[in-house]
Structure 1
Amino acid sequence: MGKIQHQVTKIKNLLGETLFQVLLIILVGLILFASMYSNVKPEKLDLKLFSVADQTIRSPITVEDKESTEKKRKEALNLVQDVYILKKEYTQNRVDLITSIFDSVVEVKDDIADEMSQKEKEEGQVSEEPPISDQLQRLKQKLTENETKELTDPVFIALLQSSKDELSIARDLTVTAINYVMSSRIAADDVENAKKRLEEELKYTSLNSSLKNAAIELGRYAIIQNEFYDPTATKEMRQQAIEAVDAVRILEGQILVEEGQLISRDIYRQLELTGILDNENSLKPFAGLALLLVTLLSGLYYFFYFLDVSRELKHMYLLIVSIILVFSIVLMKILSLFVQLNYAEISYIFPAAMGAMLIKLLTHERLAIGFTIVLAICGSIIFNEGITATLQITVAIYILLSGMASILFLSKQNNRSKILQAGLFVTAVNIIVILMLIFLRNGQYTGMEYGFYLIAALASGIGSAVLTIGLLPFFEAGFGILSTMKLIELSNPNHPLLRKILTEAPGTYHHSVMVANLAETACEAIGANGLLARVGCYYHDMGKTKRPQFFIENQMNIQNPHDRIPPQTSKNIIIAHVTDGVELLKKHKMPKEIIDIAEQHHGTTKLAFFYHKAIQEGIEVNEADYRYPGPKAQTKEAAIVGIADSVEAAVRSMVHPTHEQIETIVRKIISDRLSDDQFCECDITLKELETVANALYVTLKGIFHSRIEYPENIKQKVNHA
């Protein structure tokens, strides 16, 4: 266990697990709050009306300028004219009215003619027309009161005194003039002008003067207003004009006043509207930041809560993620100082993928994803280009995609040797993301600016890889994480324990090397940690150094001591090699993963040979006493080491094994362990066991291949015979 992990365990035991987790998250939250405090703190500005601004001020928020919006709407309303409609049916109505007057005159004349003709027949002499006054009276009876009141008697008399032909001509001329004049719009204040236009139309006709005057008066009477105000249409037009006016908005980041500019009433109103004038004592930005951090850290804790690992690992993962998050935020904060000096593009140099790669390699992929999301949101606040309480979305996208690219690459290449390749992959993604953001802005950039962006992308990608490689050993050492370098160090034959087993139990050492070859190949075939399996094999039988002569691989040119002792004693000695080995490994402070393999490689399997020997000797036995104490294999590596250990011992005991015999023994051992429930506590699948069987068979086939009998060897055999 690493030093940091050891100290954390002490603190955790002192405080309790839940309290420790809560305090750790609160501590991380406070550090993040302190880091982003200045980025959301409202600026203290001494601004007065009609004073000169000593700095350029941008809007911290997007807000609607209702006063300007209302002003634009009023201007739009003023441009909307009242809607008037032309009543075309009025023209026909007035034409029909005048026509009916002429028709009434003709009817009166026809009635008089009929009466005179009737009277002539009755009296036999020519009768005289009735006086004009009677004719006028008859005509008025056919007309409405309004017509008789508006039109003078001379008009009717002139019509009654005219012939039908003259009346027909006068009617046509009058109707034509009315139709012509009323085809145009006639407003209320233009009626008199319209009447004058009609008068001009009839003035030069060939009618006699009295009939002409009558036609003119009839025409003037017919001309009326035909254009009327439409309140409904006018209201609709005004509503459309209002809706067409977009709300005036002061956008986030918009310049309200430039340095050296006079603060006019309108500018002062906008400063007041955006809350800049009275923001000194505002607590809203801090409350918002606190809520944001609570949400982010709660979401991150949610990832931990549902992580399918042991409680001890959860605590270690939580601490690792917290340290990396704080380190990333501090590094981000340092870089943000250059943003305040008008180097906004410096944010792209930030090693965005570093934290994601460290967490992916040290903990879990799901935690790396959650971490990247949190870091991207925090980065959007810290790199906000000096605009208080705003979010820099482009930086958030850059950090998010950069981190996700590293996770994606390492999810397929989960190997520490691939970190530099992951950095190059992240660099390529960074370049694509930066170009995407630049092109979306549609701005004009110089070649030097493009070059800087490319250098920043390269520095971020390679820097992430270099920092990951540099920091990884510290985390592995501090938290007791078994690293590749540590495994390589433990595999060195000069290691004291390996020298001990080599000198005291050379047969066991050779057996361990053979098992290591088998286990490593099988682990790599299913994507498990082959190097861990190999090193675990080197130490898995370390307990045999206590009584090496009791194990068959070390019994060279000596009699088997088990032949002279009871089976109970033999099984105790054999079982003890597991506990002795674990004790020895713990004494030398070996990594927990190596100790677990040594403790679990036999699981709770039965020592069948001594069990049956005891039965044959008539000894009353309990089967449980002839089983290893366990525990059963908890990891794929431990399960495979156990299989490889049994397979190697079984095949080595055979004389010139054939390929078929090797395959049979491999599958039988796996089948026996399955039926004995030795794999029920680890996550190895049946499909993976099939892959393991094939890998072991192929490797063993290469080791125990058929050898050619050379002529010299045959000759020696004949001579000896």
Structure 2
Amino acid sequence: MNIQDYIGKIRTLLSYKVFTIITLLILSILIYGVLYYNVKPQTYNMELFSIADKTVRSPKTIEDEAKTNEERQKAADEVGRVYTFKKETLQNRVSLINSIFDFVNDVNYQPELQDKSKDKPAKKSDAEKLQILKSDLSKNVNEDVTKRIPDDIFYTLLKTNHFDLEQARDIVIQQVETMMDEKIRDDQVSQVRLKIADKINQSNLNRDLREAAVELGKYAIVPNDIYDPQLTEARQKQAMENVEPVKILQGQIIVQEGHLIDRDIYHQLQILGLLKSNPTVKPFYGLALFVLLMIAPIYLYIHNTSYPEDKKQIYLILVSFVFFISLLLMRIVGFIDSTDLPNLGYIYPAALAPMLIRIMLNERFAFIVTILLAACGSIIFRDELAGTINIEIAVYILFSGTAGILFLSNRNRRSNILQAGLFVSVINLMMIFALILLGNGQYSKMEYIYFVVFSIASGLLSAVFTIGLVPFFEAGFGILSTIKLIELSNPNHPLLKKILTEAPGTYHHSVMVANLAEAACEAVGANGLLARVGCYYHDIGKTKRPQFFIENQINMENPHNHLSPEVSRDIIIAHAIDGGKMLRKHKFPKEIIDIAEQHHGTTLLKYFYVKAKEENQNVDKESFRYPGPKPQTKEIAIISIADSVEAAVRSMAHPSPEQIKELIHNIVQDRLQDGQLNECDITLKELEVIKKTFCETLNGIFHSRIEYPE
């Protein structure tokens, strides 16, 4: 029992979705297990203030956020408070002092109030003047000076004559302008007020007026260099942004052997996840996401194909098996690479899986697998420092696998696999030296020899493993590869020789049908090679009684003339059954066996049915039908039509293109009406293309020829 049979048994127990989920889950676990060793960070059993028993290097570049924040706070603190020098403050204070003196003059020299009873001006008292002055100073101003300057100062100003008052004004304004021309902050106001008081006290004003001038001067002094919180915040923010992040660089020595593990070192070990007491789990989450991204393309591609569910399951198992084998080989090479031999990863047979998938399935899926393996290789063959990926080996695997796929694209013989391996070796060698030159690497002579040996060995191992595994997959999974089909089409195959020697007419008929079927299959996107090879063997059952089939009756009487219709019917129908048995005996692929058994479907043997009806009107029509089953695939349906078309056209003496076209149309319509095409996925549009292709092929075979004179 092969793997295909086991899958069939499991499929009877599980639905397609459940089977697919279980398979992908197992593959995911296997991939995760293979890659786990490479992403697992190395941890150390180190304690704070202990002595390091080994030198520890940083496995990756990471930002020390705590240290970065500390440095940024230092930069912000160094900025300090930002002040803005407001020059307009000087002018405002000078204007305020001038206003005070102007109001004093206005009060002193405004017209006297009239005394109505005595009809003469009434003289204002000092209290009235003070009240008027304070009222004027408190009107329509942003700053009420009356609350800051004592009343005795205003009394002094009101008592002073105009000349001395103007002299005091000039002295106060001059000193205010001198003092406030410089920057004055909050904490400097007291000092400057003492200074301006000292300057005014040196003037020749009388004592009372000098004291009033000192008080006005001190009052005029205010901060003009003002703290700006918004600008301070902006400057601090800019200073913090200018601080580069503090990073622990990959390869940087965290602690040397024999050194004390202080708080800074312990902190760095913590954030790197190198302590057994505080390991990091991020790589494991990353690996899970990576595995999901690996599985998704495999599932989506197989799910979106037009294969039946049983085929999809077989292909899923096949791809999973090939993928895991490749990963296992990669893991083995990666393990050896981590010991003594440098750059041993280049010996990995990178083209193995791509070539196997190309041979077993198709090019597109092979390219997908190549990309996925390149991604896995970048992790498995990572550098000594964990946390990095090896881009060079990923590019190497990608080009190596692509080379194997492209070389096998139009070459379908098993011998071409070894040639493909040599071609891959050349590409490997060129890619390695391209990477060396791009990186300006310096290597010893022995290392260059290693590179050459590894690259050649990689290509040859890919070819050898592919040649060895292809038969296993063909037999175990029931896969009918292109190479297998090419081998079956070899004229030296024992069964083809049997047809040629024992039933030459059938052989010729099979070749003609093969030409028709292959052209039609390729026209509608079906497997033309499968159709051709299937046609070669579809009538193998006729070799059991070749003389009972008209194409082999050369210069002999038709033996059916002496047999009853029922016996003739049994002989003709038996060739499909006998063909299936013979092909199974020789362990032929299921697809070829199906063609032999289904190419007649359940069609009616009209000739013998009519003949039997002439003898007995009550004859059962269904008993003169082939046992079937009806064609289950597009290829078998096309072969079924081509078989009838070729036999019918060959029976015509000199068929014209119009006759051929009409004949083909009638045969197709007959198959449709008889329901022979109901169980395959062929469409009416494709049938029109098939009819057109048959006409073109047959017109090329049965074209008119020039009659040469004797």
Assess, with a 3 A threshold, how the Cα gap between structure 1 residues 101 and 525 changes in structure 2: closer, same or farther: closer
Shift of 1:618: 5.0
Match in the other structure for 2:619: 621
Match in the other structure for 1:233: 230
Assess, with a 3 A threshold, how the Cα gap between structure 1 residues 411 and 162 changes in structure 2: closer, same or farther: farther
User: Is 1:224 matched with 2:225?
Assistant: no
Once the two structures are overlaid, the 10-residue window that deviates more, 458-467 or 687-696, is 458-467
- After TM superposition, the structure 1 = structure 2 runs for residues 127-142 of structure 1, keeping only pairs within 5 Å, are 140-142=130-132
Listed one character per residue, the Cα deviations across residues 653-695 of structure 1 (whole Å, up to 9, x for unaligned) are 1112223322332333233323433333333344443443343
**Rounded Cα–Cα distance in structure 2 between residues aligned with 1:299 and 1:491:** 34
Match in the other structure for 2:634: 636
Listed one character per residue, the Cα deviations across residues 147-198 of structure 1 (whole Å, up to 9, x for unaligned) are 76376599538x62343xx644653554354345335432234235534665
CA contact (8 A) 1:53 1:257 kept: no
Residue of structure 2 aligned with 1:536, choices 518, 524, 534: 534
CA contact (8 A) 2:580 2:593 kept: yes
Shift of 1:328: 0.8
Assess, with a 3 A threshold, how the Cα gap between structure 1 residues 414 and 674 changes in structure 2: closer, same or farther: farther
Match in the other structure for 2:180: 182
Residue of structure 1 aligned with 2:480, choices 476, 479, 482: 482
- 2:680 is paired with a residue whose SS is coil
Shift of 1:552: 1.5
**Rounded Cα–Cα distance in structure 2 between residues aligned with 1:143 and 1:320:** 107
Residue of structure 2 aligned with 1:392, choices 386, 389, 393: 389
Match in the other structure for 1:545: 543
**Rounded Cα–Cα distance in structure 2 between residues aligned with 1:541 and 1:90:** 113
Match in the other structure for 2:161: 161
Shift of 1:72: 1.8
- After TM superposition, the structure 1 = structure 2 runs for residues 272-291 of structure 1, keeping only pairs within 5 Å, are 272-278=270-276
- 1:602 is paired with a residue whose SS is coil
**Rounded Cα–Cα distance in structure 2 between residues aligned with 1:558 and 1:617:** 26
Match in the other structure for 1:325: 323
**Rounded Cα–Cα distance in structure 1 between residues aligned with 2:97 and 2:162:** 16
Given residue 648 of structure 2, which amino acid in structure 1 is its aligned partner? A
Match in the other structure for 1:716: none
Match in the other structure for 2:338: 340
- After TM superposition, the structure 1 = structure 2 runs for residues 1-150 of structure 1, keeping only pairs within 5 Å, are 4-5=2-3, 8=6, 31-32=30-31, 34-43=33-42, 45=44, 47=46, 49=49, 51=51, 54-59=54-59, 62=62, 65-84=64-83, 91=90, 94-110=93-109, 140-144=130-134, 149=150
Shift of 1:632: 1.8
CA contact (8 A) 1:336 1:347 kept: yes
**Rounded Cα–Cα distance in structure 1 between residues aligned with 2:153 and 2:619:** 146
Listed one character per residue, the Cα deviations across residues 299-358 of structure 1 (whole Å, up to 9, x for unaligned) are 856766776544553453344223312221122113323653598866566454542442
CA contact (8 A) 2:83 2:226 kept: yes
Given residue 705 of structure 1, which amino acid in structure 2 is its aligned partner? H
- 1:276 is paired with a residue whose SS is coil
Once the two structures are overlaid, the 10-residue window that deviates more, 72-81 or 678-687, is 678-687
- After TM superposition, the structure 1 = structure 2 runs for residues 422-437 of structure 1, keeping only pairs within 5 Å, are none
CA contact (8 A) 2:367 2:402 kept: no
CA contact (8 A) 2:520 2:690 kept: yes
Listed one character per residue, the Cα deviations across residues 417-452 of structure 1 (whole Å, up to 9, x for unaligned) are 8977899799989989998x999xxx9634879999
**Rounded Cα–Cα distance in structure 2 between residues aligned with 1:510 and 1:41:** 65
Flag structure 2 segments of 5+ consecutive residues without an equivalent. 135-145
Residue of structure 2 aligned with 1:689, choices 684, 687, 690: 687
Flag structure 1 segments of 5+ consecutive residues without an equivalent. 124-128, 713-721
Shift of 1:650: 0.9
Match in the other structure for 1:445: 440
- 1:69 is paired with a residue whose SS is helix
Given residue 619 of structure 2, which amino acid in structure 1 is its aligned partner? V
**Rounded Cα–Cα distance in structure 2 between residues aligned with 1:9 and 1:282:** 41
TM-score (normalised: structure 1): 0.76
Assess, with a 3 A threshold, how the Cα gap between structure 1 residues 539 and 96 changes in structure 2: closer, same or farther: closer
TM-score (normalised: structure 2): 0.77
Match in the other structure for 1:711: 709
Listed one character per residue, the Cα deviations across residues 268-320 of structure 1 (whole Å, up to 9, x for unaligned) are 32113323122598888678767875886688567667765445534533442
- 2:704 is paired with a residue whose SS is coil
Match in the other structure for 1:255: 252
Shift of 1:70: 3.9
Once the two structures are overlaid, the 10-residue window that deviates more, 45-54 or 583-592, is 45-54
Assess, with a 3 A threshold, how the Cα gap between structure 1 residues 31 and 268 changes in structure 2: closer, same or farther: same
Given residue 156 of structure 1, which amino acid in structure 2 is its aligned partner? L
Once the two structures are overlaid, the 10-residue window that deviates more, 690-699 or 588-597, is 690-699
CA contact (8 A) 2:83 2:225 kept: yes
CA contact (8 A) 1:202 1:212 kept: no
Once the two structures are overlaid, the 10-residue window that deviates more, 75-84 or 189-198, is 189-198
CA contact (8 A) 1:377 1:396 kept: no
User: Is 1:244 matched with 2:244?
Assistant: no
User: Is 1:651 matched with 2:649?
Assistant: yes
Match in the other structure for 1:717: none
Assess, with a 3 A threshold, how the Cα gap between structure 1 residues 539 and 216 changes in structure 2: closer, same or farther: same
**Rounded Cα–Cα distance in structure 2 between residues aligned with 1:711 and 1:531:** 41
Shift of 1:39: 2.1
- After TM superposition, the structure 1 = structure 2 runs for residues 203-602 of structure 1, keeping only pairs within 5 Å, are 213=210, 216-217=213-214, 219-227=216-224, 230=227, 232-233=229-230, 236-237=233-234, 240=237, 244=241, 253=250, 255-257=252-254, 262=259, 264-265=261-262, 266-278=264-276, 308-310=306-308, 312-337=310-335, 340=338, 347=345, 350-363=348-361, 371=369, 375-376=373-374, 378-388=376-386, 390=387, 392=389, 394=391, 398=395, 445-446=440-441, 468=466, 471-602=469-600
Aligned residues: 691
Identity of aligned residues (%): 41
**Rounded Cα–Cα distance in structure 1 between residues aligned with 2:218 and 2:279:** 78
Shift of 1:75: 0.8
- 1:568 is paired with a residue whose SS is helix
Given residue 257 of structure 1, which amino acid in structure 2 is its aligned partner? I
Given residue 596 of structure 1, which amino acid in structure 2 is its aligned partner? D
**Rounded Cα–Cα distance in structure 2 between residues aligned with 1:17 and 1:153:** 106
**Rounded Cα–Cα distance in structure 2 between residues aligned with 1:404 and 1:295:** 20
**Rounded Cα–Cα distance in structure 2 between residues aligned with 1:264 and 1:622:** 99
- 1:257 is paired with a residue whose SS is strand
Match in the other structure for 1:661: 659
**Rounded Cα–Cα distance in structure 1 between residues aligned with 2:157 and 2:21:** 109
